[in-house]
Amino acid sequence: MISDEKREEIVMTMIANAGSARGHAFGAIKAAREGDFAGAEEALRQATESLRKVQEVHRNLLQMYAQGELPGIDLLLCHAQDHFMMASLARDLAAELVHVYRQIREECRRESA
């Protein structure tokens, strides 16, 4: 069994990296809205990297649960999972919005040419 301190460390790692991913995702949207597509792509890359870190911790958590090292799911772990899923959704939607902003920008250029 893992200690309460270790479980809290895992939860905080997930929440911190998920928050970072969400922040980068919204940064990508803002950059794309302003026409900075290189900045938007970099922000999406950073969001993806932060999510990769969360996924790694999450995978380890699932392995611990499967091996009986985690006694059950508690409110803090559910909270961390919520942050993970919202950040993942934010990154996916941000990627779509960057694409839409890029298409709009290109269409405006064609119309004004």
Residues annotated as catalytic are 79
The region, left, alpha or beta by phi > 0 then psi within -120 to 50, assigned to residue 35 is left
* CA gap 40, 54 in Å, rounded: 21
* CA gap 93, 27 in Å, rounded: 12
